[in-house]
Structure 1
């Protein structure tokens, strides 16, 4: 979200409509990130595209705010739960949970973060984007089953896994499976209960 210094104050109903439109396009309709446009968001929200450009710099900034405010989940497919966390995470990886356009979206969102105004920076300071994901849910199930050390917070473990993945996507593209398996093993070696 950029500063609202231009134009009239933001309408909360229009803002909510835009956030809900982003969620419908990306979560429900599964539109590829590359195909989502400011014009498409505006049409889905029932607002003019000038309304969006008044409040955000580009589509990445709109999507970033939708993620930070909980309208849009930064998520992949559910993680299996066979009772063996390591095997489940490896199976999840092998099923190809990443979409083809995820690296592109991640790079765009990082650009939006770098150019974010103070309001977005405040949202980022409070947001826990990996807390409400299938991955965090699987870690919670492992914690409830006594498979994680008591000191391990499931949402932090999800962040510890996905943070390096996102960084790798930004720098070299989609991580290869062997690298991902190694990362999973390193994290679980410190997180699993003895």
Structure 2
């Protein structure tokens, strides 16, 4: 009987990693959305434009998001998470070292860094400006992006109240506006430089008041 040699088997190709491919596409879409809105503004940014810039099909975006507002919202949330990781922050909560002034100054300094980050500055200015004239967009971004951050300040101020560092009759939600609102106004209206010294001073004024001791 003749010897039989089996044909060499065809090498199996590695199975494409769909999860990794999807993650790459998402990152490309985030970057494209933030870049476009910073360059041309919110109104001129389109899903088609984002898709073209990211190198994906329009249907890919609509499979994951229902509108460009949803894309941009998630892109900003992702940017914040990446910035926190780059800064070595394991938690979104404001640290409680027992010194409320130091903790607030530290988180506001981190905010200064973010506001001056080119990745963040142009798109966030464009969205803030559009949110003034587009009421629905403004409400969405305040509720989904701004309010979660403000709640962290409220939590830290409440902890300071419990520790006797802040008066018990103070409303933390109003109190946080004493240092957050001036910073936002200065940044949006270019009324002065955004520096650590400025935000440190806001905290000192807010916690110590203006009346002579």
Distance 2:109 2:138 in 1: 35
Deviations 1:60-107 (A, max 9, x none): xx639x99xxxx99xx75432111111222333455663213433431
Unaligned runs of 5+ in 2: 1-25, 38-49, 85-91
In the TM superposition, structure 1's runs of 4+ consecutive aligned residues that sit over 6 Å from their partners are 30-33, 121-128
**Paired residues, number:** 151
> CA shift at 1:171, angstroms?
2.4
Alpha-carbon offset, residue 176 of structure 1: 0.6
Q: Counterparts of 1:179-194 in structure 2 under 5 Å? A: 179-190=198-209
The two structures have a TM-score, normalised by structure 2, of 0.50
Pairwise CA distance, 1:189: 1.2
Report if the CA contact (8 A) 1:85-1:142 is conserved: yes
CA 1:154–1:129 in 2, change beyond 3 Å: closer, same or farther? same
Distance 1:180 1:125, change over 3 A: closer
3-state SS in 1 of match to 2:67: helix
1:103 pairs, out of 121, 130, 143, with 121
Shift, 1:183, TM fit: 0.8
Q: TM-score, normalised by structure 1?
A: 0.54
**In structure 2, distance between residues paired with 1:106 and 1:179:** 21
User: What is residue 107 of structure 2 aligned with on the other side?
Assistant: 92
- Name which one, 1 or 2, has greater alpha-carbon Rg: 2
More helix by percentage? 2
Q: Is the 8 A contact 2:187 2:194 kept in 1?
A: yes
Change (3 A) 1:35 1:137: farther
Question: Which residue of structure 1 lines up, in the alignment, with residue 34 of structure 2?
Answer: 34
> Secondary structure of 1:98's match?
helix
| Alpha-carbon distance in 2 for matches of 1:125, 1:94 | 21
> What's the offset of the Cα at 1:186?
0.8
**Relative contact order (alpha carbons < 8 A, sep ≥ 6): 1 or 2 greater?**
1
In the alignment, what sits opposite 1:177? 196
Tell me which residue corresponds to 1:151: 169
Instruction: Output the CA distance in 1 between the equivalents of 2:188 and 2:36.
Output: 20
Inter-partner Cα distance in structure 2 for 1:32 and 1:178: 34
| 1:86–1:188 Cα contact (<8 Å) kept | yes
Q: Which runs of 5+ in 1 are unaligned?
A: 1-23
RMSD: 4.6
2:63 aligns to what? 46
